[in-house]
């Protein structure tokens, strides 16, 4: 019999880099504002559901939390809790940023893909990237944003966001000795 070698347990804080992935979707509803990446877009429908429905900020928040293997957005801010009804999703993002900083990490870069039929994201992409960069405290050239239409998905009334983030050890926190 081959003996299993006892491995030294690697602590999470020893990782120099970490990756996080987030995904979210919301259905369009008439008569509410449309917020994507913290930017209000001029459109006759908005994204309903939990909080202000900002599908991109929710996916970014989950990606950040996932990067440090933290609890997800729905656990931290349950949709069933009335205090988060109509809430500004920037609050969720800031809590995720606080948690990654406390874990000793900073955001290096982010990439995202939005999937929605309308409105066209292209004309607003620069503004959304700029807003997300400023919320995360990273340069605009570290925020990727692509928009696709849901070809063949029979999904014309929803917006979906996929996000990956790359985290690096924060220089602000002194390394433990
Ligand atoms: Zn959401």
Kindly list the domain boundaries of the chain, sorted by start residue.
Answer: 26-169
Q: Which residue has the tokens 């293997």?
A: 69
Distance 106 CA to ligand 1 centre (A): 23
The interaxial angle of helices 90-102 and 125-136, nearest 10 deg, is: 40
Q: What is the pLDDT of residues 93-127, one digit of tens each?
A: 999 999 999 999 999 999 999 999 999 999 999 99
- Specify whether the CB–CB gap between 137 and 93 falls below 8 A: no
pLDDT score, position 152: 85
Contacts of residue 83, defined as CB under 8 A and 6 or more positions apart, other chains included, come to none
Distance 59 CA to ligand 1 centre (A): 7
Distance 151 CA to ligand 1 centre (A): 22
Distance 171 CA to ligand 1 centre (A): 31
Distance 41 CA to ligand 1 centre (A): 17
Distance 157 CA to ligand 1 centre (A): 15
Under-50 pLDDT residues of the chain: 174-177
pTM of the complete model beyond 0.85: yes
pLDDT score, position 177: 41
Q: What is the CATH number of domain 26-169?
A: 3.30.1330.50
pLDDT score, position 76: 95
Spatial separation of the C-alpha atoms in residues 54 and 50, rounded to whole Å: 9
Distance 26 CA to ligand 1 centre (A): 6
Spatial separation of the C-alpha atoms in residues 105 and 175, rounded to whole Å: 11
């Amino acid at each position: 019999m081959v003996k299993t070698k006892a491995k030294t347990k690697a602590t999470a804080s020893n990782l120099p880099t970490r990756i996080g992935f987030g995904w979210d979707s919301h259905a369009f509803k008439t008569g509410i504002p449309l917020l994507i990446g913290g930017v209000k877009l001029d459109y006759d429908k908005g994204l309903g559901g939990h909080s202000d429905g900002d599908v991109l900020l929710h996916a970014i928040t989950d990606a950040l939390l996932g990067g440090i293997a933290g609890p997800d957005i729905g656990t931290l801010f349950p949709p069933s809790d009335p205090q988060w009804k109509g809430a500004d999703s920037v609050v969720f993002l800031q809590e995720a940023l606080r948690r990654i900083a406390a874990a000793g990490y900073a955001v290096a870069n982010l990439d995202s893909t939005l999937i929605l039929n309308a409105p066209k994201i292209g004309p607003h992409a620069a503004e959304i990237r700029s807003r997300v960069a400023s919320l995360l405290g990273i340069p605009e050239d570290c925020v990727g944003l692509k928009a696709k239409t849901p070809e063949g998905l029979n999904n014309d009334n929803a917006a979906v966001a996929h996000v990956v983030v790359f985290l690096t050890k924060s220089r602000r926190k002194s390394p433990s000795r």
